[in-house]
Chains A and B, each alone.
Chain A
Amino acid sequence: MSPTGAGAAATPKYTKKDFESDQDVRWCPGCGDYAILSAIQKSMPDLGIPKENIVFISGIGCSSRFPYYMNTYGFHTIHGRAPALATGLKVARPDLKIFVVTGDGDGLSIGGNHMLHVLRRNVDVTVLLFNNRIYGLTKGQYSPTSELGKVTKSTPLGSADRPVNPLAFALGCGATFVGRTVDRNIPHMDEMLKRAAAHRGTAFLEILQNCNVYNDLAWNVLYDKESKVLHELRLEHGKPLLFGPPDARQAVIMQGVTPKVVDAKGVAESALWIHDEKNVNAAKLLADLFAPDFPVPIGVLEDIAAPIYENVLIDQEQHALSDRGPGDIAKLLTSGDTWKISSEGG
C-alpha cells in the first residue's frame, strides 16, 4: 500500500486547521520557522493522504520542535539521528508518508553521516532541512553552513572552517531529488513542498530560514527587494537560466565546463542553458552558484528516479515468499544435521 494510493479513496477533506496540534508554539517571535510551519500545515491537505498515515520525525535543534506542532504522528528523537530512525520506520512501515525535519547543525554536523546514507539509499522520505547558518537552540554558535570567518560566541575571532553547501552535499551523496526554497517566499515554498512530497525516494529540500535572534538576515540576498531582483534565479524545468530585472536580464551559460554570467540580449537561443531536472551533472554545477558572482538558484535542481531502498528489500522478501512460502520455525529448528537420542539411554 503506497501512501498516496492509501489516501486516494478514503481521504477526508482536510483544511490547514486539521494539521494544527493543541501545543503552544515555542519559537522566538519573528523566527522563520513560523512561516515554514504554516506553509507545511497548509500543504498537508493537498497530499491526499489520511493524516493518520503521516509521520514527522525530527532530531534536535529549533527546527526539530516541529513534530509537536503537527497534528499527525510524530517523533522528536535525538541529535542528528532522524534520518536513521526514519529509515527503520520506513522499512517496518512502507505504507507511511514520512517527513524528516532537520536543520543545518542537526542534519549536516552531528547527523551528517545519517544524512549521507539516507540519501544514497534513497529511502522514500521527504527531508526538510531548515538552513539558518547558525546554532539557535544552544544560543548562537557557528554552524557547518556558516561562512568562513563567522564571529560567534564560540568563534570570537572568526570561524576557521569552510562551510558545507547542503545542495552540493546532497547531490554528492546521490540524492534523487534536490531543491531549495526560502522562508519568505510563501508561494514558492508551497510549490516546493508539494514537489518534494510528491517525489518517490529521498527528497532533499533546503529551506533558507531566518534566525532573527542569532543570525538575522543571513539570507538577505533573497530578502532585500532590490537584491532579490538582481540575484534570484528561478529554476524551471525546460526553461533557460535567466534572471535579473526585466530591463537588464542576464543569463547563466556554459563556457567550456564553467558556468558564466552574461548579458541575456547577446546570447543566441541555442547557447542558452536550458534547465533539465534529469541532468545530474548540470545540477551539481547549479548547486555551487551563489551571490555575489552568480545568481542564487531556487527551485528543483534535480528530480530523477532510482531504486528505493525499502522497495528492494521488500521485493527480495516477496521473491523468497513466492518461491518457498512463509518460513516455519518448527521446520527450521529441525532442518540440517540432527540426531535422535532414544529414551533407552542413547
Chain B
Amino acid sequence: MSETATPVTGGRKSRKELSRAVIRFAGDSGDGMQLTGEQFTTESAWAGNDLATLPNFPAEIRAPAGTLFGVSSFQLQFGSQRVYTPGDRLDCLVAMNPAALKVHLSDLKPGGLLIVNTAAYEKRNLDKAGYAQNPLDDPALAERYRLHKVDMSGLTHEAIKDLPLNTKEKDRTKNFFALGLVSWIYTRPLEPTLDWIGKKFAKNPQFAEANTRVLKAGHAFGETAEFFEESYGIAPAEMAPGLYRAMTGNRALAWGLLAAAQRSQLTVVYGAYPITPASSVLEELAMHKRFRIRTIQAEDEIAAVTAAIGASFGGAIGVTCSSGPGIALKGEGIGLAVTAELPLVILNIQRAGPSTGMPTKTEQADLMQALYGRNSESPIVVLAPATPGDCFYVAYEAVRIALKYMVPVMVLSDGFLANGSEPWLIPDPATLPPIDVTFRTEKEGFFPYLRDPATLARPWVRPGTPGLEHRIGGIEKQDVTGNISYDPENHDHMVRTRAEKVRRVAQEIPPTSINGPATGDVLVVGWGGTYGAITAAVERAQADGKSVASIHLRHLNPLPPDLGHLLREYRKVLVPEINSGQLVRVLRAEYLVDAVGFNRVRGLPLASEDIYDAVIQLGSQK
C-alpha cells in the first residue's frame, strides 16, 4: 500500500488515505471468489477509482474441495491515480481456506493484511493443503503479517440462523461476509452489491435476505471488532470525464464486431467452436440477435473458419474465434482466405501452451503462429489490443481492414485481457472511422482478380449479382482473370502481390506514440496485454529520473512504418513478452537492431516490478 496521507480520525476508528491498494480474494473454487472480486470491483468503480483486475481460476469446473489445484482467486488493484495493472505484490489477502493460504501467501507483502476464515482451518482441509500443523498457530505468521482470524462461517450462520435455509445454503453466503468486511476496511460503498443482490435474487427473497444480512454483518464486524484498528480510504482517480462502464476483453471484442456490423450495414457471421478462454465471445454474440449477427456453433474449429469464409464469399463479414490449439486447426482455412482474397477476421484469445497447456492461464506465445503458422507464403494482417477496453477498437479495426483490403486479419488477445476488466470510457460510435463497402455490380470489364490500385484489393461480388458469375478456389490463379494457372512467373507474381497487399495496410497505421522522451537510454517495446505492466514500470523509472520510453505496438503485421527509425533513437531496446522471445526476434530480423528480450512464461501477466528491474539493469549497461 502506498501510504501517502496522514491518518484521518472518523468516529471510533481512524481512517488512513491511500493512493492505491492491491487485494486478492482466494478460496476454494466453490467459495464464490470470482463473484466476490467482481462485486468489489464494481464497488471500487462506483467509488471513482481507476482499477485493473486479474481473475485466476482452475480449469476444472468443480475441482475437489480443499485441494491446492482447486484454489480460485480474484485480484484487483484500485487507486486514486492511473492504475495500469492488477498489481504485483498484495497489500491484502483474504484466504478462505488453508489451500488458498498455501498457494497465495508468498505474494503478500510483509506487514500486509491477512484475513482468514478460521472455520475452514480444520484437519481435513489442512491435510489436503499439506499442512502438518495449523499455520494459524505459528506465531511467525502473525509477526510477519497483520493476521486477522475471523470465524466467517460461524458469524455467517449466526446472522441468518432464523432463515429457513439449509446449512449448505447458509454456508454458501459466507463470501459475502468477506466482501462486507473488506468493503468496510477499504471504505467501499455497499449500494452496488445490495442492488446486485436485489436483482439476482428477485425471485427468491429468502436468498436476497440472507445475502444482504451476511454482507451487512461482515461490514458491521469490521466496524465493531476490536482488532481492526483502522480502515482505508482511496480518493477517486483523476480520469477523463465521461460515462464509464466496466469492460472485459471478450465482451469488448464482441461489441466491437457488433459496432462494425452496424457501421458497415453488413451481417457478421460468426463461426466458433467452444474453447477456453474464447467461448464467452460466442456466448456474448449469441445474446444479441437484434444486431446484425448470426452465430454458428460449428462441429469443429475447421468448420468454424470455413463457415466464416463461406459467409464472406456471400458478402457477409466472416469472423471466427478460438485459442491457440484451435487456431492451429484453422490454418488451412486461413490459407484459403489468403488465396481466395476474401475478408476474414480471426480472433485468437491466447492461452498457455503448447498443446492443451494451461487453458485458463494467459500467454502471448502465438505471435509466430499468427505471422507464419500456415503452409507456404500466407501473409495476413495481425493486430493486438493493449487493454480489455482496447479490444473493442481492435475488433472494429480488424473488420475495417479485412473489408477494405480483402484480406484475413488476426487479432491476438489473451486470457488476461479476455477475463480482466477495466473502467472503460464509453465511446460515441459515430466517432469511429467509417467502414465503406462497395460490392461490384458492373459487368463491363469485370474480372475476379482485378485490383484496386491503392489497396490491391480484388472486387467483392455478392453471389446473386447477374452477369458476374465466377469461380474462385484454393488453386493458384492467374492475376486479373482468376483462371487456374500453373505458370511459374504468375505464381511468383501472385506470392509477391499477396504480400504487398498486406504491406500496404501500413497506410492505415497512425504515427507511433511514444511514452517518454523521443530519444534516450532505453526504449521498451511491447505488444498485447503487457501494456499495463510495461507502462507502470516505465513510468516508475521515469519518476526515478531515468531516460526511458516505451512504445506499444497494436499493429504487428505490417509493423508501423516509422518503427525502424524510432528504434535507433535509443541506446538500448528492451522487449518484454510472455513467451521466449518472439517479437524481439521479429524486430532484430526486420530492423537489424540489438533488441534484448525480457521473458517470463509462467501463465501469468508480467510483473511490472520485474520489468522495472530489467529496464534499470539494461540502462546501466554500457
Chain A contacts to B: CB under 8 angstroms: 21, 23, 50-53, 55, 57, 60, 67-68, 70-78, 81, 84-93, 95-96, 113-114, 116-117, 313, 316-317, 319-321, 324-330, 332-334, 336-343, 345-346
Contacts and interface: CB of A to CB of B under 8 A. Distances in A.
Nearest to A1: B464
Contact of B239 (A76, A328, A346): A346
B217 interface: no
A93 B464 contact: yes
A339 B49 CA distance: 11
Give the size category of B's interface with A: 35 or more
18 contacts: A23-B483, A73-B470, A84-B298, A85-B306, A88-B296, A93-B462, A95-B464, A113-B300, A116-B299, A319-B289, A327-B262, A329-B259, A333-B429, A341-B236, A341-B241, A341-B244, A346-B237, A346-B239
A324 B310 contact: no
Interface in B304-346: 306-311, 313-316, 318, 332-333, 335-336, 340
Contact of B290 (A52, A78, A113, A321): A321
B236 A346 contact: yes
Contact of A320 (B269, B290, B473): B290
Nearest to A81: B306
Contacts of B470: 73-74
A332 B258 contact: yes
A341 B238 CA distance: 9
Contacts of A326: 290-291
A341 B48 contact: yes
B306 A84 contact: yes
Contacts of A74: 469-473
Given A84-B310, A87-B296, A333-B429, A93 B315 contact: yes
A44 B311 CA distance: 24
Interface of B: 42, 45-46, 48, 192, 236-246, 255, 258-259, 262, 267, 269, 271, 288-292, 294, 296, 298-300, 302-303, 306-311, 313-316, 318, 332-333, 335-336, 340, 426-430, 462-475, 483-484
Contact of A339 (B46, B468, B469, B472): B46
Given A57-B310, A68-B471, A75-B473, 8 more contacts: A88-B309, A88-B314, A91-B269, A92-B294, A114-B302, A329-B429, A345-B236, A346-B241
B272 to A, nearest CB: 12
A77 B302 CA distance: 12
Q: Which 3 A-B pairs have the closest CB atoms?
A: A76-B473, A88-B307, A88-B310
Given A77-B473, A113-B300, A337-B245, A89 B290 contact: no
B310 A332 contact: no
B427 A339 contact: no
B311 A91 contact: yes
A342 B241 contact: yes
A21 B471 contact: yes
Given A95-B464, A317-B294, A346-B237, A77 B336 contact: yes
B426 A327 contact: no
A98 B271 CA distance: 19
Given A327-B291, A340-B243, A77 B306 contact: yes
Among B243, B299, B332, max chain A CB count under 10 A is at: B299
B475 A76 contact: yes
A116 B300 CA distance: 12
Contact of A325 (B245, B290, B313, B472): B290
Contacts of A330: 428-430
A256 B594 CA distance: 82
Nearest to A26: B484
Given A81-B303, A329-B255, A88 B271 contact: yes
A88 B474 CA distance: 17
Nearest to B340: A75
A92 B318 CA distance: 9
A173 to B, nearest CB: 11
Contact of A333 (B306, B332, B426): B426
Contacts of A327: 258, 262, 288, 290-292
A51 B469 contact: yes
Contact of A96 (B241, B306, B314, B483): B314
A84 B310 CA distance: 8
Contacts of A88: 269, 271, 296, 306-311, 314, 318
B244 A338 contact: yes
A52 B246 contact: no
